[in-house]
Structure 1
Amino acid sequence: MRGMTGRWLAALLALALVSPVTAVAVTPDSHAAAAAQETATTAEPGGQFRLVSTASNVPVDGAGNLSLTFVNTGDTVTNASVFVESPNESVRFGRSRNATQSVGAWDSGERRTVTFGLVAEEFAETRNYPFRAVVSYTVANGSRVRTNPFTFGVQPSERILLDRFEVTAISSNVQAGDSGTISVTVENTGGDVSDAVVTLRSQSSSIRLGRTQNATQFVGEWSSNEDVTFEFEATAGNDTVVTSYPFAIDIAYSEDGTRNRTQLERFGVIPAPEQTFSLGDLNSTLRVGDEGNVTGTVTNEGPQAASSAVLVLESSGENVFPLEEEFALGNLAPDESVPFRYRIDVSDSADQGPRQLSFTVRYENQDGDSRRSQPLEARVDVGARRDEFLVDARNASVVAGETAAVVIEVTNNDDRTLRNVDARAFVDSPLSVEDDQAFVPRLAPNESATLRFRVSADGGALAATYPLSLDFQYETPDGESKLSDTYQVPVAVAEPEGDGVLPFADVGAIPVAIAVAAALVVGGVAIRRWR
């Protein structure tokens, strides 16, 4: 008996070790869509995502939405997508029990909300259905990774019946911090009516209907079994979160000459998260005393498309001057990225080091209204001052009283290809330059060219080093003409060979010099003898 008990305990322990543990959301019953369905679910060990909240507002025999909010607790990933699955046909995603939504790049620490359309059949129950979600993504080494399933509950609300009417579909494109439309589809399940007025009431201060909490729409004639969709303009505050906000609806109508009004019924509306953008792939070629570029990409993180988007450089700090402050991005679909480039001039008085640039995205929302994003901060580096060219004298010497070719090697020290490089040389006495100009059609980065100038030194020049000044006029890739700083090249002037022996000591003068010296010697002897 004791051995059998031990075997049973071992079996139970093994079963406990292999069984996965999941957290299922507990949601209110009866019209649960009028309140938020919130859950906090953690991923299995080793996962880098966490499901922080869910919200749904689907009624039995109707349509609504399911929103899931995840946070990336690990490193930045790319090509992320969220797969969701329903346990049965009673509550599903359109005609399918599963659905997938692409997310794209997902930064470390970033929260993202994905929303799916949801349908509950007329035979669905007002209970928790255990749904599953899986996040798939690509890590830095290119491997494809999938999380363990997250389990959460979705509970349809009871059918939204208003006497002889039924709410069959609820949808919204209202975003946090923006305006949009709440759509409610109502079916007349009774006989024909007339002069119908539908009143929608927001029961939360976070979402307004226009400037108030109430809005009405007139229908007029409403036939039996006819579905009518009502669209109400709504605005969500900046503090709105992705959860189910309560609304109430009632209908006044006339039938057989009698005026009637239904009872109030409640349902939930789930706003979309705030429209966001992000900056990536930032690169800077800025340097003190020079013009450079700041490049990168702007990504529409969604959830909606952004039309006629413009990236605006709001501030760049002192001694940094953008040539243009706006860059047109065009239309951006959710998760779409567009590259940008700003030309920026950095003054000579600037210090090298990091700079903080602040951008915003100006765009039109789905209703054509102009909107502006939250500030996007970018940190870029300003490099130390750097000469555009490197100048190296290969042969820079001349003999006093003569002319020689001074050979100079010039190298493009810029990050860009420079064209039409016009070099000019300047000298002061005792030097002079016969041809003071040299031309190079094109110089790629780190490419060198050889320049030659014929330089003369005066006959009376002292043996010393004298400066040859050199500057360059050139064109940048965007066609701008610029003038470089002045470079100094040392030119050595040497004395003629034989200086300091005899000024006439050439080959022809040697015999004459010897004869004169001999005569002086002979004369000196004769005079001495004469004395």
Structure 2
Amino acid sequence: MRARTVLAGVLVVCLLVPTGVAAIEGEPHLSATMPENRVSPGESVELRLQITNVASLEESSGAPGVEQRLTTARGVRARLDSGNAPVTVETTRASLGSIPDGGVAEMQVRVTVDEDAEPGTYRLPVRLRYDYTREIDDYTGEHDDVEAFRTARVRLVVEPEARFRLVESATDTPVGERGNVTLTLRNVGSATARDARVSVQSRSAEFRVGTNGSVSRFVGAWRPGEEATVDVPSTALSTAGRRNYTVVGRVSYSDDDDRPRRSEPLVTGVVPAPEQRFVVRESSATLFVGERGTVRGTVVNRGPETARDAVVYIETGSDGVVALQSSYPVGTLEAGESAAVAFPVRVTDRGEPGPHQFDLSVRYRGREDATRQSDALFVRSTVEPERDRFALEPQNATFGPDTTNRLVVRVTNAGDAPRTDVAVSLEPRPPFTSVAPTAYVGELDPGESERVAFELSVDEDAVESTHPVTVNVTSESADGDVDSESHRVPVAVSLEEQSVDTGALAAVGVLALLIVASLGYWWYRRR
């Protein structure tokens, strides 16, 4: 009976006391991966770094909260180092918070690969630091928290790739002209670029590349270390200045797996060559209203290019000044060479005296036989007021009242050009009249004189005085223009000093001699 009672008590105690372990243990296990881990030399790229937790648990307690606490990594901090890889890690640290069992946390890291990096696979260390609960007492709930340190490693693959660097850029395109842009590029990568093509583009409307602002050239296979030079046509407008204009080059090619690739933009600046310039030196012009003159000057090609088949043009800028010849061919002018030009012009009667400006320009063939025209070259001169073309000087100009005599006038060409069909006519007014008021001279060279005579009668009631007599002179220039000008010749009426008509006196003398001779002959016969 006693034995049964003891056995029953033991059974009751066993039923009342739960079975199992007194403490539960667990631990998170963190690892690192980089899903996209392929980079190229010289590349700066942002990559994803993933931290994954695969925890372990010795025994389940059946309490979800307890297991989660044991398998969760709390306060996770990650740091990526470059190790011995030829890279620079710019984003190194990140706080990722808690990572439960089976969870993944992600951080973005920026990695710059050295330009001379050798292709290959590199392992980058990831330093991890976190807290977790290592053990929980299943009876009392007491727990053991610890801080853990772990180093994981991720793989980074540096792939062989063609890369390009701009070595030199230049242009020989003058302002207002066409020329070329020259780019020299080098493959500084570690792979051959196949079917390579270089495209060049300008970012300015004043400096254009190609026809529409871009153009490309085929290079073909481009091995590492090799250089290639491409020339593309360019145009600098006349409004362009001598400053840097942005030009962008890019290389399109195929890699070893026939995948299409494209380089980063290769940006540079080019400065147009100096503008083709001409100047005018030693300019001169002697111009008078109503006369023909000449505009002269020396045109100098200041370069930098040769001007072929050059022709100089003139614009008078006024209806009153007419260019009788508007162009003057000078042929080919090398840089620094000069040529004299002369343009005959005529200032019409409508021309205004005063300062006047002539615009000269040079039209020539430049690069690629393109016809170019220079800016205006200014020649300034003065148009003088109208002047007399003839000088008139009376030879005998004193007459008595109620007489008829010969008025002799010396006519001189006072201009600098020959005059033809010179005709001189009187316009007598009282107290003068004339029945033969016109005389014809013909041609007079500059400085040449000719005497002309007119019959002139004086009224009987003319008073003693000096009276003007109008004399008109008409003539024709070498280019066929007929001009007329009026002069006033002084004629004096005097009672004391009357002019004697020598022709009449001679006639009277001859008649007197004849009479004396006849009387002498008659007297001789009478004897």
TM-score by length of 1: 0.50
In terms of Rg, which structure is larger?
2
Does the 8 A contact of 1:163 with 1:263 survive in 2?
A: no
Does the 8 A contact of 1:461 with 1:493 survive in 2?
A: no
Q: Residues 520-531 of structure 1: matches in 2 within 5 Å?
A: none
Equivalent position of 2:299 in the other structure:
298
| Structure 1 pair 338–313 and aligned structure 2 pair: CA distance change class (3 A) | same
Whole-Å separation in 2 of the counterparts to 1:226 and 1:397: 106
Whole-Å separation in 1 of the counterparts to 2:450 and 2:321: 35
Does the 8 A contact of 1:468 with 1:491 survive in 2?
A: no
> SS at 1:175's partner residue?
coil
Whole-Å separation in 2 of the counterparts to 1:379 and 1:480: 27
- Cα displacement (A) at 1:175: 1.9
**Which residue among 418, 432, 436 is the counterpart of 2:435?**
432
Equivalent position of 1:175 in the other structure:
174
Spell out, residue by residue over 1:484-520, the C-alpha distance to the aligned partner (whole angstroms, 9 max, x if none).
3233434557779999xxxxxx99xxxxxxxxxxxxx
Does the 8 A contact of 1:466 with 1:490 survive in 2?
A: yes
Does the 8 A contact of 1:425 with 1:436 survive in 2?
A: yes
Does the 8 A contact of 1:362 with 1:373 survive in 2?
A: yes
Equivalent position of 2:383 in the other structure:
382
Whole-Å separation in 2 of the counterparts to 1:370 and 1:356: 26
Spell out, residue by residue over 1:290-349, the C-alpha distance to the aligned partner (whole angstroms, 9 max, x if none).
332322233333222333444444452353333344444443332333333333333434
Does the 8 A contact of 1:407 with 1:450 survive in 2?
A: no
Q: Residues 10-409 of structure 1: matches in 2 within 5 Å?
A: 171-184=170-183, 195-202=195-202, 206-219=206-219, 230-253=230-253, 258=258, 265-314=266-315, 316-317=317-318, 319-397=320-398, 406-409=407-410
Whole-Å separation in 1 of the counterparts to 2:227 and 2:449: 80
Letter in 2 for 1:200: V
Letter in 2 for 1:180: G
| Structure 1 pair 273–191 and aligned structure 2 pair: CA distance change class (3 A) | same
Whole-Å separation in 1 of the counterparts to 2:386 and 2:234: 54
Whole-Å separation in 2 of the counterparts to 1:225 and 1:387: 84
- Cα displacement (A) at 1:388: 0.8
Spell out, residue by residue over 1:251-291, the C-alpha distance to the aligned partner (whole angstroms, 9 max, x if none).
44568784666665455433112233323322222222333
| Structure 1 pair 359–249 and aligned structure 2 pair: CA distance change class (3 A) | same
| Structure 1 pair 420–227 and aligned structure 2 pair: CA distance change class (3 A) | farther
Whole-Å separation in 2 of the counterparts to 1:228 and 1:413: 75
Whole-Å separation in 2 of the counterparts to 1:409 and 1:282: 37
Does the 8 A contact of 1:278 with 1:376 survive in 2?
A: yes
Equivalent position of 1:514 in the other structure:
none
Whole-Å separation in 2 of the counterparts to 1:291 and 1:208: 47
Whole-Å separation in 1 of the counterparts to 2:183 and 2:498: 108
Equivalent position of 1:449 in the other structure:
449
| Structure 1 pair 195–393 and aligned structure 2 pair: CA distance change class (3 A) | same
- Cα displacement (A) at 1:233: 1.6
> SS at 1:293's partner residue?
strand
| Structure 1 pair 436–450 and aligned structure 2 pair: CA distance change class (3 A) | closer
Does the 8 A contact of 1:409 with 1:448 survive in 2?
A: no
Spell out, residue by residue over 1:452-486, the C-alpha distance to the aligned partner (whole angstroms, 9 max, x if none).
3253648979577573634242443xx54533323
Identity %: 27
- Cα displacement (A) at 1:391: 1.1
Equivalent position of 1:483 in the other structure:
483
Letter in 2 for 1:270: V
User: Root-mean-square deviation (CA), in Å?
Assistant: 4.6
- Cα displacement (A) at 1:387: 0.7
> SS at 2:241's partner residue?
coil
- Cα displacement (A) at 1:449: 1.6
| Structure 1 pair 210–454 and aligned structure 2 pair: CA distance change class (3 A) | same
Whole-Å separation in 2 of the counterparts to 1:345 and 1:323: 7
Letter in 2 for 1:182: V
1:410 counterpart = 2:411: yes
> SS at 1:430's partner residue?
strand
**Which residue among 467, 470, 478 is the counterpart of 2:469?**
467
Whole-Å separation in 1 of the counterparts to 2:481 and 2:240: 53
More relative contact order in 1 or in 2 (CA 8 Å, sep 6+)?
1
Gap regions ≥5 residues in structure 2: 1-160, 500-507, 510-527
Whole-Å separation in 1 of the counterparts to 2:376 and 2:296: 17
| Structure 1 pair 302–497 and aligned structure 2 pair: CA distance change class (3 A) | closer
| Structure 1 pair 258–472 and aligned structure 2 pair: CA distance change class (3 A) | same
Does the 8 A contact of 2:166 with 2:266 survive in 1?
A: no
| Structure 1 pair 243–438 and aligned structure 2 pair: CA distance change class (3 A) | closer
> SS at 2:367's partner residue?
coil
> SS at 1:201's partner residue?
strand
- Cα displacement (A) at 1:216: 0.4
- Cα displacement (A) at 1:383: 0.6
Does the 8 A contact of 2:411 with 2:452 survive in 1?
A: no
Counting matched residue pairs gives: 335
Whole-Å separation in 1 of the counterparts to 2:346 and 2:219: 62
Spell out, residue by residue over 1:12-36, the C-alpha distance to the aligned partner (whole angstroms, 9 max, x if none).
xxxxxxxxxxxxxxxxxxxxxxxxx
Whole-Å separation in 1 of the counterparts to 2:485 and 2:222: 82
Does the 8 A contact of 2:394 with 2:409 survive in 1?
A: yes
Letter in 2 for 1:473: S
Does the 8 A contact of 1:166 with 1:187 survive in 2?
A: yes
Does the 8 A contact of 2:356 with 2:383 survive in 1?
A: yes
Letter in 2 for 1:469: V
> SS at 1:367's partner residue?
helix
Letter in 2 for 1:392: E
Does the 8 A contact of 1:170 with 1:185 survive in 2?
A: yes
> SS at 2:369's partner residue?
coil
Whole-Å separation in 1 of the counterparts to 2:434 and 2:170: 86
